[in-house]
Chains A and B, each alone.
Chain A
């Protein structure tokens, strides 16, 4: 299968001050993302995850290397074309809300593309229905909860019909309930439209939804693999300042009590099965 996003040897430097030594935010990053994949990028603060997202969307220009979006090299000319294919949801729900009401905000991206009004109205309604916010059409942002605002941001992206959605820590400022809501919404839309999702996250349960996890550390791509492969590192991840899924934490606690547990990563259901058989063996 062709890859929709391809990064080749990306470096990114920034200078804090004019004379200061450039700080290397990204160091020789290369990877490919297949159409329809769900990729989670994890890493502790300052590992370059958000910089990576901005480089993919052309909001930052890499110091070295090439970004290819669906077979096209990202340049100053092609960047607007690329942004039509990529929808981005940012961290702070308040600061990315452009419109005065919910429907205005969803329409903002469509207005930018110069889409005719009657098509716009239909798409806005459709997108809001998708995220179950159609009852709140004429609400102002100050009267919405954080999770609802993020769902509006997703609707704004969905209305543009992109191929790729990038979630730049989109759930990090939400409560557990809002987080669950947003992840479920994205999951559903991804299945229906065969989207590619890149989610940058600290939330390990969100990362467990992914097909593939990219683990970043100090601007480098440290490890890459399925959630199973990544979570099997167990302790190492905790040492890097990351969290583990509940089932892995349970395993560590059991090992500390002297039980024999399976080495590789298992989901919560897997653990329940194992505990059940373990109990009957006795």
Chain B
């Protein structure tokens, strides 16, 4: 089992690392939103410049970002090729049946490619510089306003933090059960699809059963420690919104204004 799933956080001591996780989370979503404002070379250039600046500020090696793109490269290329060959307009270089290579198609292909890369870079930047725990704190804090519309913000955030805490524990257990079943002659990852699926059963069922037991024990321990739900609870972890978080927000306002100006 690779532990890279959620633990891709790289500890560091940089401007981006010290930002409030709420600021980072909101900024990433906002960034993905404003990418769709870009529609010419200048605006994409502007976004790339901003992303490179952000990466430089995080002091995280660029190779991590390239690794983030790698698993998605086929999806990106597939989409780009579709765009290139099926977009009609502008100067036509080549035509064969329904396929056509046009200047507009090439331009669209390049833009889509840039869009993908920018989104992946930004979301990688978020996960690389923010520990999962801070992210769940940020989500909890951002969900607070939804309480007014009867959204169970406390319950959702508690579930999220317990889920995060149990990820490594359950990973270890999965491996233990897999090895135990291997010792009894179960072969994982071998044979036809049906055989592979059948081999999963002796792994899945014990894992489910033990999760039920864990849940029961945990609920009992929580109750014994006086847990009565979200009412009247105080918080040990607090997030501090600082000047630099406000400044990041300001930079995003400026970025949006620039984009609106230079987009055609």
Contact B133 A100 (CB under 8 A): yes
Q: Which residues in window 94-117 of A have CB below 8 A to B?
A: 94-101, 103-104, 107-117
Contact flags A147-187 to B (C-beta < 8 A → 1, else 0) = 00000000011001000000000000000000000000000
Q: Is A84 an interface residue (CB 8 A)?
A: yes
Residues of A within 8 A of B176 (CB): none
Contact B234 A95 (CB under 8 A): no
Contact B224 A108 (CB under 8 A): no
- Size bracket, chain A contacts: 35 or more
Contact flags B219-243 to A (C-beta < 8 A → 1, else 0) = 0111111111000111111100000
Contact B133 A95 (CB under 8 A): no
Residues of A within 8 A of B222 (CB): 98, 108
15 intermolecular pairs with C-beta atoms under 8 Å apart: A83-B223, A83-B224, A90-B217, A94-B169, A95-B213, A95-B214, A98-B165, A101-B133, A103-B236, A111-B234, A112-B233, A117-B235, A117-B238, A142-B168, A160-B226
Contact B235 A111 (CB under 8 A): yes
Q: Is A140 an interface residue (CB 8 A)?
A: yes
Q: Is A88 an interface residue (CB 8 A)?
A: yes
Contact A57 B217 (CB under 8 A): no
Contact B236 A117 (CB under 8 A): yes
Contact A88 B224 (CB under 8 A): yes
Binding site for B on A (CB under 8 A): 54, 57, 59, 80, 83-84, 86-88, 90, 92, 94-101, 103-104, 107-117, 120-121, 124, 140-142, 156-157, 160
CA distance A111 to B226 in the complex (A): 9
Contact B226 A90 (CB under 8 A): no
CA distance A104 to B136 in the complex (A): 13
Residues of B within 8 A of A112 (CB): 225-228, 233
- For the complex formed, measure the closest distance between the CB of A134 and the CB atoms of chain B, giving whole angstroms: 16
Residues of B within 8 A of A83 (CB): 223-226
Residues of B within 8 A of A111 (CB): 233-236
Contact A92 B169 (CB under 8 A): no
Q: Is B51 an interface residue (CB 8 A)?
A: no
Contact B221 A98 (CB under 8 A): yes
Residues of B within 8 A of A86 (CB): 224
Contact A124 B236 (CB under 8 A): yes
CA distance A153 to B224 in the complex (A): 12
Contact B234 A115 (CB under 8 A): yes
Q: Say whether, besides A111-B236, A112-B233, A80 and B220 are in contact (CB < 8 Å).
A: no
Contact B236 A59 (CB under 8 A): no
CA distance A108 to B235 in the complex (A): 9
Q: Is B172 an interface residue (CB 8 A)?
A: yes
* Cβ contact of B226, chosen from A84, A120, A124, cutoff 8 A: A84
* Given A80-B226, A109-B225, 18 new contacts (CB under 8 A): A80-B228, A84-B226, A86-B224, A90-B221, A94-B169, A95-B214, A98-B222, A100-B164, A104-B236, A108-B222, A110-B234, A110-B236, A111-B233, A112-B225, A117-B235, A124-B236, A140-B165, A157-B225
CA distance A95 to B211 in the complex (A): 10
Residues of B within 8 A of A92 (CB): 217
Contact A57 B161 (CB under 8 A): no
Residues of A within 8 A of B226 (CB): 80, 83-84, 109, 112-113, 160
CA distance A217 to B158 in the complex (A): 40
Residues of A within 8 A of B232 (CB): 114
CA distance A247 to B28 in the complex (A): 67
Q: Is B81 an interface residue (CB 8 A)?
A: no
A-B complex: 5 closest residue pairs judged by Cβ atoms: A96-B221, A95-B217, A107-B236, A142-B168, A109-B225
CA distance A111 to B227 in the complex (A): 9
Contact B225 A156 (CB under 8 A): yes
Contact flags B160-178 to A (C-beta < 8 A → 1, else 0) = 0110110011001000000
CA distance A160 to B227 in the complex (A): 13
CA distance A95 to B216 in the complex (A): 9
Q: Which residues in window 169-194 of B have CB below 8 A to A?
A: 169, 172
CA distance A117 to B213 in the complex (A): 33
Contact B225 A108 (CB under 8 A): yes
- For the complex formed, measure the closest distance between the CB of A126 and the CB atoms of chain B, giving whole angstroms: 14
Q: Is B218 an interface residue (CB 8 A)?
A: yes
CA distance A108 to B161 in the complex (A): 12
CA distance A105 to B233 in the complex (A): 14
Q: Say whether, besides A100-B161, A114-B234, A116-B234, A59 and B220 are in contact (CB < 8 Å).
A: yes
CA distance A54 to B161 in the complex (A): 27
Contact B165 A100 (CB under 8 A): yes
* Cβ contact of A117, chosen from B221, B227, B234, cutoff 8 A: B234
CA distance A151 to B236 in the complex (A): 20
CA distance A141 to B169 in the complex (A): 8
CA distance A99 to B237 in the complex (A): 11
